Chain A
């Protein structure tokens, strides 16, 4: 049976509480609680041949997306595209995290960096990595006399 780790993200909870409080009191604008680099949420899947990591990254500038695979870690870095505004535009509400993000994910096993591939679609980044060939499970045939 596979154990699934549901990781509690305190920053996400604080942001959600802050948003709900802002909505409750009708605040025109909710400012970010912390100015640090934001941390995207991820899902990790593992299989016999490799692993898949998907991350929610809406509005990312793909050209500035930096993915690094080393041993058992995958690091995602980048920035969210900031919509241009001019002097005649007033900001009524700002809840999106328009700042750099970074996340280092521990993979379930060591992977082959050369095998890594990534697809960005509908604001979801999906990274696939493979186990090194010598780490992949191998079926052993029983020889009978």
Chain B
């Protein structure tokens, strides 16, 4: 089976832990839609790019600090998120849309319209 989006590229190592977000990817005849879980990320900290058929999504988090409180159980360190995907379809870059709601990033990638065959009529002189 050939997938439209294939194996992500390895993550870069930074001082703060960076993890690949969990994603759901749906494809219709007209577009590819990606949902990525990025809890703790707000709109201003998201970076999305599409270059050389590689879609890159990044999100940075700020670890909350509660004045007067000390941690007694820590299971998550509010990591940054980063993941890349190879896109095998041709995408209309100008029409890419992205939104972030409740820690879930949604990226809509419209496919370019396929070139339909056209009959050429030879005109008589």
A binds B: yes
Give the interface of A toward B (CB within 8 A). Answer: 2-7, 9, 15, 19, 23-24, 26, 28, 41-49, 51-52, 54, 56-60, 62, 81, 83, 85-86, 88-98, 105, 108, 120, 122-124, 126
Shortest C-beta distance, A10 to chain B (Å), equals 12
Bound: A145/B66 CA distance, A: 40
Q: Interface size bucket, B side?
A: 35 or more
Q: Does B22 belong to the interface (CB within 8 Å)?
A: yes
- Of residues A6, A23, A26, A43, which shows the largest number of chain B Cβ atoms within 10 Å of its Cβ? A43
- Which of A9, A108, A120 makes the CB contact (< 8 A) with B102? A120
- Which of A23, A48, A92 makes the CB contact (< 8 A) with B26? A92
Shortest C-beta distance, A31 to chain B (Å), equals 12
Bound: A28/B2 CA distance, A: 8
Contacts of B23 in A (CB 8 A): 93, 95-96
Q: Is the CB of A5 within 8 A of B72?
A: yes
Contacts of B73 in A (CB 8 A): 4-5, 7, 42-44, 105
Contacts of A19 in B (CB 8 A): 20, 22
Bound: A52/B70 CA distance, A: 10
Bound: A53/B68 CA distance, A: 14
Q: Does B25 belong to the interface (CB within 8 Å)?
A: yes
Task: Report the nearest B residue to A7, measured CB to CB.
Answer: B75
Q: Is the CB of A6 within 8 A of B74?
A: yes
Known: A7-B75, A91-B25. A122 touches B42 (CB 8 A): yes
Q: Is the CB of A96 within 8 A of B35?
A: yes
Known: A57-B39, A89-B26, A91-B24. A41 touches B102 (CB 8 A): no
Q: Is the CB of A123 within 8 A of B39?
A: yes
Q: Is the CB of B22 within 8 A of A59?
A: no
